[in-house]
Structure 1
């Protein structure tokens, strides 16, 4: 966490320097997304759930500072985590060769995934239970809306 924070802070200096050069907001935003946000998203699906509130607050402070520099609203750290988990979960559910594919089991309705039982909070904060929760809380992006699920439904209905 400390390494990610330091790396992002070092890159924030470049954002400040670019701002003093009177570059357009679009270019500054592009720089933020490619240089700083990519550092924040490095393995975010691994460390986010186990990070302390203090660590998350430090990293969120970087996002808020960038918002102030750019003058626009940026996605929060929680939003970045949610989008990364959703992307990775879709790849896992659509790829039968992935080792975690067997853990993404659809309920009979076909709209939601089966929740994984967790006996400890350590396991509950793991990637797979969190991914299932995220996929089930956003019904518009659920399993029936993915191309592979749509083709499977077409095969079953014919």
Structure 2
């Protein structure tokens, strides 16, 4: 489930910002049913992010705070939702104690359930209001679907990139040299195409990857010089992100990179589904070993 909570400030409060590294949501691929929510508090310091986290390892309840929103990730096993619902109640109490008000109109819930015969879930209630259930959930600029497929997010990325292609053509028509056109493409169009690319590109369908690469080819014709393929950009950024995690022992994913006795390669992750094998950590290990 994904529940996104909205908060309204009653008093001026300084809340430590929390940036969720989206590839950490790859944990979703490990579990048959996942509950993702949204609003709470706690701190993890990384070399490049400030992350506030509380984690209940027994019930797998992960609380992540970002500005005035919170995401709660919880595993529901054997139909037992008690830990998940208790966390939502604790969140409501925490907000009350810290002079914050939950905005239930901005709170949504998304259920991620890959069982063959999923059982219906009772709706979540906060402040005597039912939380609406949605099929997609936008988090930090990326659209997550309940089937953990990325077509909706890719459509949004392509739309943004194609809108910016107009300005690239306009600059070309005004005689801007290829080198400056390339720089503009990197800053304005490629940055959109590569937004959170380490999270979703590996699991994208072949059709969607061709659509994305077609946008790069169009930009190449406008710029007049070769541009890096999106697969190469994905591989490079995945390796860069993996190296940052390796150099940051407190990172939640650091322990997933285990060196083999030879000391030259990392132990491959065992995966049972293509959804998991195409997520960030298995791909990152494969790239580092190649």
Fold agreement, TM-score > 0.5:
yes
Q: Where do residues 66-105 of structure 1 align in structure 2 (5 Å cutoff)? A: 66-105=219-258
Which runs of structure 1 show a deviation greater than 6 angstroms over 4 or more consecutive aligned residues? none
Q: Give the distance between the partners of 1:122 and 1:60, measured in 2 at CA.
A: 22
CA deviations over 1:70-118 (Å, ceiling 9, x no partner): 1111111101110110110000111101100000111111111111111
User: Could you say which residue in structure 2 is the equivalent of 1:129?
Assistant: 282
Give the TM-score normalised by structure 2: 0.46
Q: Does 1:51 align with 2:204?
A: yes
Q: Give the distance between the partners of 1:83 and 1:73, measured in 2 at CA.
A: 17
Q: Give the distance between the partners of 2:212 and 2:272, measured in 1 at CA.
A: 30
Unmatched segments (≥5 aa) in structure 1: 138-158
User: Could you say which residue in structure 2 is the equivalent of 1:141?
Assistant: none
Deviation at 1:33, TM superposition (A): 0.3
User: Could you say which residue in structure 1 is the equivalent of 2:6?
Assistant: none
Whichever structure has more helix as a proportion of its residues is 1
Q: Does 1:24 align with 2:177?
A: yes
Whichever structure has more strand as a proportion of its residues is 2
Aligned residues: 137
Q: Does 1:6 align with 2:194?
A: no
Query: Contact (CA 8 Å) 2:265, 2:289: kept in 1 or not?
Result: yes
Q: Does 1:108 align with 2:246?
A: no
Query: Contact (CA 8 Å) 2:213, 2:229: kept in 1 or not?
Result: yes
SS class of match (1:48): helix
The alignment's C-alpha RMSD in Å is 0.8
